[in-house]
Structure 1
């Protein structure tokens, strides 16, 4: 706080000053400020002393605009926080206004402190005192600028986020489809499929049974064909015997239904009976019927399984998509990062906007630094030094006065103590004389 110093200005006109009353108005010092108004409130916000500024009224526009810069920075901070909160919490926007205003007031307080604490700084050390203030301003500007950057690129970011979410949902559907194939193949051994098993019973068991029936029919049909060929050979030999055809030494060549003819047919009949050809034929026919029926059932099961599988996959993908709620601040930041990685133009524009916003947010301290040492700063510095000097003088005076008072009190106490000792000695001498007189009177 700058110490107030009252200086009496003699109200007299010097002989060198012109008599023109307009010049009196121009050169009158101190110049009275506005009683009330936005300009004075803006200067008061950054800690400007009007009684000091009245000696250099030419500096008023500079500090008025500096105060308005601080106000604008606070408003930008409030808008930035409101923009960020709308993407973080799901509440009606009017409820966010008090929080945004509080943040704006906090930023105004910090900026006004950084500016007001630099008033009166002179010399080379002035720049070193600005360094931490500038770093704080840049950090605060970066925090304020980020939501505004996302807001500026809002349309492109939201389009990118929607496309990215669609790509994620498509990849999720593809994973569920690969891990649960329509043929019912087991994919539990695949690493990426361990957490993507639907657990739906597949037609694989029916397919295994159908394959087994087909294999069984194939083996039986091969055996049946081989036995049938042997039976046909025996029947052909019997027909040749009965017809009298000579087949090497296997037939007699005598036609007629004789003993050899009957024997040949008996051999063929016994072979067919022993081989069980009729039963095997019935088994093959039954297997053919079972294969046909099971093939039809498998086709129907596969069709139903595919529909069930598709429904289950759609349910899982819908549940995955439902996790994409609103587009929050993190989603927008990731979207902007993807856009920057895809386009150098977006990357350049993003950083240009971010740097511009940071510079605007740091403008209170930058304006104070770039403004250099003003006449107001020199007067504040002088008043600070004068105030310190006067305060030291007052403290010295108080110290000397206190020491003098203490010394006087000590002398007074010493004087009283000395008088008390003298009085005590006199009383003691008087008592001795009195006792001596009494003793002398008693002895006589």
Structure 2
């Protein structure tokens, strides 16, 4: 079915124009065709693929097809709005250049719906169903494509907030990972001194220098000082105990291991000697001096470690901030894929949102399918019957014109074949004639030669035949040849 702008004049097999049905031959009791409607509704009917000249025979159908054209236009507008939202989400903002693909998409959907509607005209239900059902599937598919950006637009606020929260959580997780995988050496005992063994491969930061060497030296010095301090304490306690025993023995204290006699007796001197020998073999005073030096060295190293840790922590925090800033820079504008992912996560977390989302999708899909659905449920109209009549008439005219052209071509071919056969026969006759003429010429020449030979023979007979020595007759007129027989 063609619109009024696409209509072509029908012609018969001879090439003459075929007029439209005359007045009184139209549908509806012999009424003449109505004048063509020049109003704005005509442009809406063009969107439905209506032939205005054919529709003028059933002017009561104009309102129906004007509304159908409005439905086609409405679906194209919704498709354009959907494409606008999709491109704004992809590009990160509205731009004038977006209007070009939006317009192209709207025209494409408009032309597609126009094709879906106009190609399903007719009165045969089975044929209409076989045409409309595949077109309905196409409309459903495009409905999904058009509906999804609109769903994202409706839930845009919640989706964007979810994406921002997710990005912030990613930054916090990255900061925590980098901090845990790059600990400060020698930090307090309530903090982890080493990075986790697993999951840190991609989070380890390289540093030009670390206070690990000074920290190891400080740890070793602290261990040595603690060991020396324990040794000094043990030696001091043992020396104190030996001196106490010597004092009590010399003072005459009684008890287990003591004599109870006052004065420097053998036991008193022995115990004092043991105390003196222990003091000589265990230089407690020198150990204390050495411990004091170690403690001073520890204090100096602790200052160096503090300064090194502060510098290391500052560098580490700067490197961590660089990594976090790098991830933050990759976020950029919220894209279409992130919106789909966020919507999927929100739907999985909220069953009510799942149902609502699908209801909205189905709503927009039905809107996009409206042109086909309206045509499907509209049934066969009077205009459809006229379309059938015109199509059937065009088929009959074309069939008859085709048969006429076929007969004409076949007759022409037969004539050409007869001409070719006649020319072939004439050529064969000419060749036969030439062959007979040539055979006659040969026969005439042969007859002349025979006649001449006969004449020569007769003349020789008259002149006399002379027998040769071999008994054969010689004929002088034949150059002495012997062609005769014996005597």
Shorter-normalised TM range: 0.7 to 0.9
For 1:107-139, what per-residue CA distance to the aligned partner results, in whole angstroms no more than 9, with x for missing partners? 222222222221225132321221110000110
Q: For 2:345 and 2:268, locate their aligned partners in 1 and report how far apart those are by CA, in whole Å.
A: 96
For 1:74-128, what per-residue CA distance to the aligned partner results, in whole angstroms no more than 9, with x for missing partners? 2222222221112223576111111111122222222222222212251323212
Q: Is the 8 A contact 1:339 1:346 kept in 2?
A: yes
Higher relative contact order (CA 8 A, sep 6+): 1
| 2:37 alignment partner, one of 17, 34, 43 | 34
Q: For 2:137 and 2:297, locate their aligned partners in 1 and report how far apart those are by CA, in whole Å.
A: 85
**What is the SS of the residue equivalent to 1:355?**
helix
Q: Determine whether 1:186 maps to 2:194.
A: yes
Structure 1 residues 233 and 294: alpha-carbon distance in aligned structure 2, compared to 1, 3 A threshold: farther
* 332-341 vs 423-432, greater mean Cα deviation: 423-432
| 2:382 alignment partner, one of 367, 375, 380 | 375
Structure 1 residues 121 and 263: alpha-carbon distance in aligned structure 2, compared to 1, 3 A threshold: same
Q: Determine whether 1:321 maps to 2:332.
A: no
**Correspondence 1:133-152 to 2 at 5 A:** 133-152=135-154
**Correspondence 1:120-135 to 2 at 5 A:** 120=122, 122-135=124-137
For 1:191-231, what per-residue CA distance to the aligned partner results, in whole angstroms no more than 9, with x for missing partners? 22332233564665366335413432333223432453256
Q: For 2:223 and 2:324, locate their aligned partners in 1 and report how far apart those are by CA, in whole Å.
A: 37
Q: Is the 8 A contact 1:176 1:196 kept in 2?
A: yes
Q: Equivalent residue for 1:232?
A: 243
**Cα distance, 1:389 vs structure 2:** 1.1
Q: Is the 8 A contact 1:206 1:298 kept in 2?
A: no
TM-score (normalizing by structure 2): 0.73
Q: For 1:109 and 1:260, locate their aligned partners in 2 and report how far apart those are by CA, in whole Å.
A: 126
Structure 2 unaligned segments of length 5 or more: list them: 3-7, 12-17, 456-487
Q: Is the 8 A contact 1:115 1:365 kept in 2?
A: yes
Q: Determine whether 1:218 maps to 2:229.
A: yes
Q: Equivalent residue for 2:408?
A: 401
Q: For 2:317 and 2:428, locate their aligned partners in 1 and report how far apart those are by CA, in whole Å.
A: 118
Q: Is the 8 A contact 1:80 1:147 kept in 2?
A: yes
Q: Equivalent residue for 1:23?
A: none
Q: For 1:417 and 1:198, locate their aligned partners in 2 and report how far apart those are by CA, in whole Å.
A: 101
* 116-125 vs 299-308, greater mean Cα deviation: 299-308
For 1:292-312, what per-residue CA distance to the aligned partner results, in whole angstroms no more than 9, with x for missing partners? 554555555555555554444
Q: Equivalent residue for 2:202?
A: 195
Q: Equivalent residue for 1:285?
A: 292
Q: Determine whether 1:165 maps to 2:173.
A: no
Structure 1 residues 235 and 321: alpha-carbon distance in aligned structure 2, compared to 1, 3 A threshold: farther
Q: For 2:295 and 2:308, locate their aligned partners in 1 and report how far apart those are by CA, in whole Å.
A: 20
Q: For 2:44 and 2:136, locate their aligned partners in 1 and report how far apart those are by CA, in whole Å.
A: 21
**Cα distance, 1:291 vs structure 2:** 4.3
* 133-142 vs 272-281, greater mean Cα deviation: 272-281
**Correspondence 1:11-160 to 2 at 5 A:** 28-35=31-38, 38-89=40-91, 93-120=95-122, 122-160=124-162
Structure 1 residues 202 and 147: alpha-carbon distance in aligned structure 2, compared to 1, 3 A threshold: farther
Q: Is the 8 A contact 1:213 1:291 kept in 2?
A: no
Structure 1 residues 156 and 425: alpha-carbon distance in aligned structure 2, compared to 1, 3 A threshold: closer
Q: For 1:290 and 1:429, locate their aligned partners in 2 and report how far apart those are by CA, in whole Å.
A: 145
Q: Equivalent residue for 1:20?
A: none
Q: Equivalent residue for 1:334?
A: 341
Aligned length: 423
Q: For 1:27 and 1:167, locate their aligned partners in 2 and report how far apart those are by CA, in whole Å.
A: 78
**Cα distance, 1:179 vs structure 2:** 3.3
Q: Is the 8 A contact 1:115 1:364 kept in 2?
A: yes
Q: Determine whether 1:209 maps to 2:212.
A: no
**Cα distance, 1:357 vs structure 2:** 0.8
| 1:384 alignment partner, one of 391, 398, 415 | 391
**Over the residues paired in the alignment, what is the CA RMSD in angstroms?**
4.0
Structure 1 residues 419 and 311: alpha-carbon distance in aligned structure 2, compared to 1, 3 A threshold: closer
For 1:205-263, what per-residue CA distance to the aligned partner results, in whole angstroms no more than 9, with x for missing partners? 3663354134323332234324532563476379x38xxx58888798558xx999999
Q: Is the 8 A contact 2:44 2:66 kept in 1?
A: yes
Q: For 2:344 and 2:431, locate their aligned partners in 1 and report how far apart those are by CA, in whole Å.
A: 99
Q: Equivalent residue for 2:367?
A: 360
Q: Equivalent residue for 2:5?
A: none
**Cα distance, 1:321 vs structure 2:** 2.7
Structure 1 unaligned segments of length 5 or more: list them: 15-25
Structure 1 residues 377 and 46: alpha-carbon distance in aligned structure 2, compared to 1, 3 A threshold: same
For 1:140-163, what per-residue CA distance to the aligned partner results, in whole angstroms no more than 9, with x for missing partners? 111011111111221222122212
